[in-house]
Amino acid sequence: MSYGLQEALWLKSLLEELQLVIKLPINVYEDNQSTIKMAENPTLQQRTKHIDVRHHFIRDLVKQRIIKINYYQTNSMLADILTKALPKPKFEEHMPKLVTSIPPNNNEETFRLEGSVEERVASVRQIFDPPNQMFGAHTRHLI
């Protein structure tokens, strides 16, 4: 979780640099209830002294109300599709949440890209075509 929060804080600072309003707290979803309790408990317990110092910054973020950690059931965790080998039923359950449209039939042809490689190369070459002086004559040798 600490690495994910580091990325979230970096994105927060980037958006603030772009002068976009960031609504705090940032919602973080965790499926381990003991992790949530430890992050929300500001006191250091005898049993938790072994935890690495880099993880204690999560407590500071919770205390400063920069993040809010919410419990989310393991079975509903959408990130699992990107981090674990899931059984086919669970994979099919999560896929519609990640992809806006999936072709209706399941044969291999539906998952091919539209158009051939030659068509794609031709469309890119049109951009760098010598008569098109937008990029100058030297760009015609790029492809």
- Of the two residues 80 and 142, the one the predictor is more confident about is 80
In 1-143, which ranges are E strands? 26-30, 67-71
Does residue 108 have a pLDDT over 90? no
State the pLDDT confidence band at 52, using cuts at 50, 70 and 90: low
